[in-house]
Amino acid sequence: MITSMVSCRRYVMNEKMTNKSLRERFNLSESKADQVSRIIHDALTEGKIKLDDPDNTSKRYGKYIPFWA
């Protein structure tokens, strides 16, 4: 749910959510990147967010937007 809200907020600001932006939002260190990736993966699986560019298969540089965008 949190990832969906963050992606919506960033979308309204004409930005995309990334692993880095989600960590920055919650003031988490880079060492928490794996945990944030898992959260993003779960949100993708649940259909709460989607890839901004479905042709980009790089998880490292993935950008996410709300499912409805």
Q: Where are the domains of the chain?
A: 2-66
Q: Is the pLDDT of residue 5 over 80?
A: yes
- Positive or negative torsion for Cα 42, 23, 31, 64: positive
> Average pLDDT for residues 15-40, to the nearest whole number?
93
Distance of CA 29 to the CA centre of its chain: 16
| Cβ atoms < 10 Å from Cβ of 35 | 11
3.40.50, 1.10.8, 1.10.10, 1.25.40: CATH of 2-66: 1.10.10
Q: What is the pLDDT of residue 59?
A: 75
Q: What is the pLDDT of residue 44?
A: 93
This prediction's pTM: 0.86
Q: What is the pLDDT of residue 58?
A: 79
